[in-house]
Each structure stands twice: as C-alpha cells, then as structure tokens.
C-alpha cells in the first residue's frame, strides 16, 4: 500500500471514530453533523411575494429539503397550504404565530397548527417598549405559560425564538435567564437563533449547556466577520447574514453542543439579499463540517 493511500485510510478511519458513520443522505447532514436540517421558508419570502407559494415551495424542494418551518401562508388557508406541501413531499415541523394570537386566540392557533400538521408552535417576537424590561418579561412569561399549557393539551409543543433584545442585564444574568426561570420547563421550550445570539455578544454554546433539554429547534445563521457585536437590536445584523462557515460562528463547537443539548431540528434561515446563492453553500458546509 502506498504512503498516500495509507494516509487516506487513516484519515477516513479517524473521521468515522470521531463522528460515526453517516447512514442518512439527507441534505445538510454528514458524518459529523446529523441534523435533521430543514429550511425556514421566510428565507424565500421575496420569491413568494413575486411568484407565489408554489414557486417558493418548488425552490425549497429543489434545494433538497424535506423539512420546513412555515412562515406565512400567502393567500392560502392552513389546509390548502398543507396540500401544497404534501404534493412536494415537504414536511412542516413548526411555525411562528403572532404574540397577540398566542395571548388571545390560543385555541384558534391550535386549530391552524393541526390543519398544517405541525409538531411545534412558536413565537418569534415579543411586542415591547424598548428597552425590554423585567415587567414586560414577566408578563411575557405568563402568556407563554398559558400558551404552552393549552397547546400541550393538543399534543403540540410551544417554543420561543430569541431575537436579541432579551439579553438586557438582569441580576447575575440577563432577562433571557429570567424568561427561562419563569416559564414552565414542561410546556415552554426555546428555539436558538444563532445570529441573534452572537450579535448581542452572547455565547450560544454556554446557553445550550446552561439550559439542556429546553431547546427544541435552532436557526442556523452566521454573522459576517468583522461586524461588531454587543448590540441588543439592529437591522444591520440581517444585512450581514452570510453563508454558514464563512462568518464569526465557531460551528465545530456549536453543532456538537446543540446535538448534546437535545435540539430536534435545525433550520437554515438566510435573510441575506443573496439567499439563493448562499443556501447551497450553507448546505455543503453542513455536509462537510467535521470535529
């Protein structure tokens, strides 16, 4: 056996020993990162606006995705939207609903979620008067607890998606820590948006380790190198959303931590103006990343 071939065999053996054997060929997964990887359909919002829901779903399918996170139904009913997904073999996992509906119309939310075939129902934004404060945080926790308990009766899990403003200092931590402490761990879960954790200078690995079993979902997003962090809000983060593996996030540390913490599904959410180019790049990165 030649030296080069011997080295190749050793390299492949070490990869298997470290990461295990990949038995699935799902898009966005590899020997180390197991996924499952889906697409947050908000990534294709411009295509939906220009060409409609069918074009958006066709594009998601063309990338190789099986799992999607719903973000708006266009002019379709939940049942009609579900039929469009079914025609393409796309599986809806979750969707965000407005805070007001979660507070005032939770049974209506449950009805729509069932029509869509969702496992998870979430909230991505808390209407608030900046800066987010303790009073608003505690009021939110009460709404989330009621929503989580109500949805659990329908067999649906509730989650909250961080957006940066929750990381206001509070006590020995932040208001995000207070929100975690004040919500029921049996019925209120969380979705970690990586960019909206890194941008306000938080460590996503530490959050995953601090609250194991509270994380259901993750939004995979990377922040452009050189962009200053430490801000609790700002649209500049979205204009600096880059392909996975090309930004500031240390994915070789974060992804194994997420798998260990029990994250169930990972969704690429790309809000950049070059989304159609970046999504394939992000998928190839996830398929090749190793630790």
pLDDT per residue of the chain (291 residues) written in tens, 0 to 9: 555 445 444 444 444 445 755 444 699 999 999 999 999 999 999 999 999 999 999 999 999 999 999 999 999 999 999 999 999 999 999 999 999 999 999 999 999 999 999 999 999 999 999 999 999 999 999 999 999 999 999 999 999 999 999 999 999 999 999 999 999 999 999 999 999 999 999 999 999 999 999 999 999 999 999 999 998 766 666 789 999 999 999 999 999 999 999 999 999 999 999 999 999 999 999 999 999
Q: DSSP labels for 152-204?
A: HTTT-EEEEE--SGGG-EETTEEHHHHHHHHS-TTTEEEEEESHHHHTTT--H
Helix extents (H) in 123-163: 134-152
Task: Specify if 281 maps to a domain.
Answer: yes
Q: Which helix (H) or strand (E) holds 68?
A: strand 67-70
Range of the domain at 250: 26-288
Task: Specify if 6 maps to a domain.
Answer: no
Contact 141, 190 (CB under 8 A): no
- How many domains, the chain? 1
State how far the Cα of 279 lies from the Cα of 39, in Å rounded to an integer: 9
3-state secondary structure of 76: coil
Task: Specify if 93 maps to a domain.
Answer: yes
CATH code for position 93: 3.20.20.150
Helix extents (H) in the chain: 3-19, 45-51, 53-62, 78-87, 99-104, 106-116, 134-152, 175-182, 195-198, 204-210, 251-261, 275-288
CA angle 88, 29, 249 (to 5 degrees): 115
State how far the Cα of 276 lies from the Cα of 184, in Å rounded to an integer: 39
Task: Specify if 44 maps to a domain.
Answer: yes
Contact 158, 151 (CB under 8 A): yes
- Indicate the pTM of the whole model: 0.92
Task: Specify if 146 maps to a domain.
Answer: yes
Contact 184, 213 (CB under 8 A): no
State how far the Cα of 44 lies from the Cα of 62, in Å rounded to an integer: 12
Task: Specify if 11 maps to a domain.
Answer: no
Task: Specify if 204 maps to a domain.
Answer: yes
Contacts of residue 18, defined as CB under 8 A and 6 or more positions apart, other chains included, come to 32, 290, 291
Provide φ and ψ at 171, rounded to 5°.
55, -130
Task: Specify if 7 maps to a domain.
Answer: no
């Amino acid at each position: 056996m030649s030296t080069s071939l011997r080295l190749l065999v050793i390299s492949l053996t070490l990869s298997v020993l470290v990461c295990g054997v990949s038995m699935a060929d799902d898009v966005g997964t590899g020997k180390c990162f197991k996924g499952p990887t889906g697409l947050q359909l908000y990534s294709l919002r411009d295509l939906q606006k220009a060409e409609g829901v069918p074009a958006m779903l066709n594009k998601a399918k063309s990338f190789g995705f099986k799992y999607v996170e719903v973000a708006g139904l266009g002019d379709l009913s939940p049942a009609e939207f579900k039929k469009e997904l079914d025609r393409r073999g796309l599986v809806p996992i979750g969707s965000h609903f407005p805070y007001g509906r979660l507070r005032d119309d939770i049974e209506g939310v449950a009805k729509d979620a069932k029509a869509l075939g969702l496992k998870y129902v979430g909230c991505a934004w808390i209407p608030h008067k900046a800066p987010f404060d303790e009073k608003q945080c505690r009021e939110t926790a009460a709404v989330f607890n009621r929503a989580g308990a109500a949805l659990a009766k329908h067999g649906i899990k509730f989650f909250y998606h961080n957006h940066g403003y929750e990381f206001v200092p509070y006590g020995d931590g932040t208001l995000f820590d207070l929100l975690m402490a004040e919500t029921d761990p049996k019925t209120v879960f969380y979705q970690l948006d990586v960019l909206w954790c890194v941008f306000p200078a938080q460590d996503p690995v530490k959050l995953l380790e601090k609250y194991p079993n509270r994380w259901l979902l993750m939004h995979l997003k990377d922040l452009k190198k050189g962009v200053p962090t430490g801000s609790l809000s700002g649209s500049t983060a979205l204009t600096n959303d880059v392909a996975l593996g090309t930004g500031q996030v240390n994915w070789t540390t974060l992804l194994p931590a997420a798998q260990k913490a029990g994250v169930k599904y990972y969704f690429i959410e790309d809000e950049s103006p070059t989304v159609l180019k970046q999504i394939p790049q992000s998928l190839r990165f996830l398929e090749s990343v190793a630790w």
